[in-house]
Amino acid sequence: MAMADEKISMLQMAVTDMAKTKAFYAEQLGFQVSTDYGQGAHHWVSFELPGGGPTLTLSTMHGNMKPGTMRLYLSTSDIEAAYPQFTAKGVEASDVKDDLYGPGSGVKWFAFSDPDRNAWTVAQS
């Protein structure tokens, strides 16, 4: 298969408390659970992301991954509408700023973290 035909199908993230983190992604962010398999130290949950693309899989099987070390980005066409949707569900987000690519860039964004402190940035596209 040629490299141009390949695509990323899954991103895996290490978590410490599956129940708490699964609830955050499903209830607060509204991601749809596509797979929930196992339990305890051998538990993984996959989510379909808004807009499609690869799944996000939470895992208690860490291997060499460490919880809290991921940095992920979501895009939105309307940051002013997205922000209250996140905060209304209890997501603790930074204020909307307009300098994602540096002072004067004008690109609006806000940030939040999941229960393991994985960092998310929501940027206006």
Give pLDDT, residue 1.
47
Give pLDDT, residue 49.
87
The first and second tokens of residue 111, run together, are: 């940030």
Output the CA angle 51-53-57, nearest 5 degrees.
110
Give per-residue pLDDT as tens, 12-36. Answer: 999 999 999 999 999 999 999 999 9
Contact 108, 62 (CB under 8 A): no
Q: What is the set of domains in the chain, with CATH numbers?
A: 3-124 (3.10.180.10)
For residues 21 and 96, give the distance between their C-alpha atoms in angstroms, rounded to a whole number.
24
